[in-house]
Chain A
């Protein structure tokens, strides 16, 4: 027992820097949560700012736009979570079926590229591409006889535009994770299936998908924590006053509250609320994953 502990000592020591970083940068700042219950003023600091209890929370819930913002956030985030799971899995399976390595790799790289563009740049590009008067997307729509759509200016279209453009940017990256999971499936299983007379579809259904299941469950579980993250960078660069109604989300709301207006207390209160909801969702989905798929992350 003792010798085992000594043998593992270097490993524990190697863990130490990471643990310290987490303590300093993740646990240390949690002290700042106190701001959510204060009328926080930098000049007075944590200790002398006025204590207001749940005042910041009632203040937020009394603001006229809060529930619209909450609805927008959940609506957009849910669509992003579902689309961000289904599409990459589908693409990964399809890519896996391509025999020629060169073509497979090329496609993989191409769909992966948009991931590296920042939303600042894409915001500008998308305004041009989706423009109802000169954008290529609307030219194509008109070409096949459909009316042109003001994707970034119409409240009915804006949330879908956000989801689809986010999907386009990120699905390549997510696909790679699933492709990695596919390589870990034992090829003997496929050989055995072929011997048993299973066609491509049957192989996918009975070998590929179950083989990917642990990673699918893991990523689904983790993504549920994002139920209140609708993507600040993206929306901030794509929204405009005319689509505040459908596009204003918690993060843009907090940005205006905390950074533009320096109302640190209420902004922290919203952040805390977000964290608690995320924690609840992750806990529930973790439990579900354990019960349904018998999968444990920890």
Chain B
């Protein structure tokens, strides 16, 4: 079920790592003759051990493999570093295999860990302190890519020491958007909703006025999945945000202390509204058993025309509805508010991928130098996209960027997906794709083919084209903290969180679902009491202790 969603996320994540080749100086060769850090070259060459997960989509060119490719050649020639992989497993087995490696103490020199593994390893004193080597050896691009994400960097810092290279801080993928069937709006002579009241009117019209014109009352108002929040399709966060409620994240209370968004009184108001909608039939009577896949079927069958979801929803599941119905079209808008205050998009930032160096590693600076070289080959003026990013040979694409040793560290120093959006729309305006890299050209071609009548290109149009989710980001959410509510807690899970969070989350989901289905609103007050006594208060204390030192 979650397969498609995963593919979407992986695609997006992969594109984040793309080169945005500067059109002005893209003709320079990658070697350029000016190897800047001769001083950093190891002589004689050293061997650095690592471990890897292999993405299912990854393919090597004939004769190449993980230890023999453009990157390893550059590592050896320019840095004097020979990379050796202790083991390589398919993506889905990496976590388990790494847990075993950690418990048996059989760790390589450099490797990737998740947040709780990072904390354990730091506590066990098994990691090298990177503070000094980062300062001394980090290149300009490396520092830019790390410093761009101050929160991410903080999450990799323990007692003032940098213990890991932090991941990307980009949270565009976590935002929620309002997706509405525009062909239905036009048919019923309605305007795109700008306020919550207008949204309710649209939902009512979509339910009662037969927007699909089949003469049957078989449509409902808004999509919702049994997961309520999360998963990025049919989420309720748009409704919570309209009432300034932010369940699931830690927000600052009136006294400056952190409080959990799930137990605030605003949540109750939003639940009351959802309950009212359910009673009225605006929400599918059976939403409580439907996952995002099942709700996707409802989009395709033309049963529902309003959806709160992530920026990639047009690629899936909405694309199917457009492919299967010659009239269907969806527009994307920012969230709406139920009162005069603007609605804020709830952003739960969680950092879960860190690149670390083993304490036993003789030359921890090699990790920084490897990362320097990756950045230089991908993002600098000497970037060579076909050699180090991706290469198309015949009908096959070789994604060389997967061959890097340091895969998930730092933000894209030259812009990421948002950069693609700017480039693609500029090229569309100019009618000239000359300055685009292969990835961007792919998006450009799909949008052009949609304009030429191929409806399969629609999903890309609504992400990277004009009138797309990235346009909404540009106008509403990019660096505009007044329209974002970002979780104030982004550290490793606290002790009580590890023990109690799952239980509390289950209780929350159960309670919220029951209230939407018609249980008394007083149930919410009881939930708040239980939440506090079953570990919530303890979590709040721990989170505030963390906040006091990481503010």
Contact = CB atoms under 8 A, between A and B. Distances in A.
Interface of A: 41-46, 48, 59, 63-65, 120, 124, 127, 131-133, 150, 152-153, 240-242, 244-245, 248, 256-257, 260-263
A43 B124 contact: yes
16 contacts: A41-B120, A41-B124, A43-B102, A43-B117, A43-B126, A44-B103, A44-B120, A46-B103, A124-B1, A133-B285, A150-B286, A153-B286, A241-B228, A241-B288, A241-B513, A261-B498
* Residue from A132, A241, A248, A257 whose CB has the most chain B CB atoms within 10 Å: A241
A257 B498 CA distance: 9
A261 B117 contact: no
Nearest to A123: B1
B294 interface: yes
A241 B517 CA distance: 11
Contact of B105 (A45, A150, A153, A263): A45
Contacts of A245: 510
Interface string B81-103: 00000000000000000011011
Contacts of B121: 43
A171 B317 CA distance: 37
A131 B286 contact: yes
Given A42-B99, A256-B506, A257-B502, A242 B120 contact: no
Contacts of A46: 103
Contact of A241 (B126, B226, B286, B503): B226
Q: Main SS of the interface on chain A?
A: loop
Given A42-B102, A241-B514, A256-B506, 4 more contacts: A43-B102, A124-B293, A241-B509, A242-B510
A244 B510 contact: yes
Query: What's the interface size class on B, roughly?
Result: 35 or more
B454 interface: no
B254 interface: no
A64 B164 CA distance: 38
A90 to B, nearest CB: 32
B522 interface: no
Nearest to A150: B286
Contact of B120 (A43, A152, A241): A43
Given A242-B517, A245-B510, A256-B506, A127 B1 contact: no
A256 B502 contact: yes
Contact of B502 (A43, A132, A241, A260): A260
B103 A65 contact: no
Contacts of B294: 124, 127
Contact of A263 (B124, B228, B286, B499): B499
A132 B506 contact: no
A261 B120 contact: no
A64 B120 CA distance: 28
Contact of B290 (A127, A132, A248): A127
A132 B284 CA distance: 11
B501 interface: yes
Given A41-B120, A241-B226, A261 B534 contact: no
A63 B117 contact: no
A64 B286 contact: no
A191 B502 CA distance: 64
Interface in B113-165: 116-117, 120-121, 123-124, 126
A131 B514 CA distance: 18
B230 to A, nearest CB: 12
Contacts of A64: 503, 507, 530, 534
A20 B477 CA distance: 61
Nearest to A48: B124
A124 B123 CA distance: 44
Contact of A132 (B1, B228, B286, B501): B286
Given A41-B120, A43-B124, A261-B498, A242 B534 contact: no
A261 B289 contact: no
A257 B530 CA distance: 19
Given A241-B509, A241-B510, A43 B123 contact: yes
B117 A242 contact: no
B104 interface: yes
* Residue from B123, B286, B506, B509 whose CB has the most chain A CB atoms within 10 Å: B286
Interface in B516-530: 517, 530
Contacts of B116: 262
B288 A65 contact: no
Given A124-B293, A240-B288, A263 B102 contact: no
A63 B503 contact: yes
B117 A132 contact: no
A104 to B, nearest CB: 38
A44 B117 CA distance: 11
B124 A127 contact: no
B226 A44 contact: no
A45 B514 contact: no
A59 B499 CA distance: 9
Given A43-B121, A241-B226, A261 B506 contact: no
* Residue from A43, A127, A242 whose CB has the most chain B CB atoms within 10 Å: A43
A261 to B, nearest CB: 4
A137 B334 CA distance: 41
Contacts of A45: 102-105
A63 B499 CA distance: 10
* Residue from B285, B289, B507, B530 whose CB has the most chain A CB atoms within 10 Å: B289
Contacts of A241: 226, 228, 288, 506, 509-510, 512-514
Nearest to A49: B103
B503 A242 contact: no
B285 A132 contact: yes
B511 to A, nearest CB: 9
Interface in B478-508: 498-499, 501-503, 506-507
Contacts of A150: 286
A45 B506 CA distance: 29
Contacts of A65: 503, 506-507
A173 B288 CA distance: 32
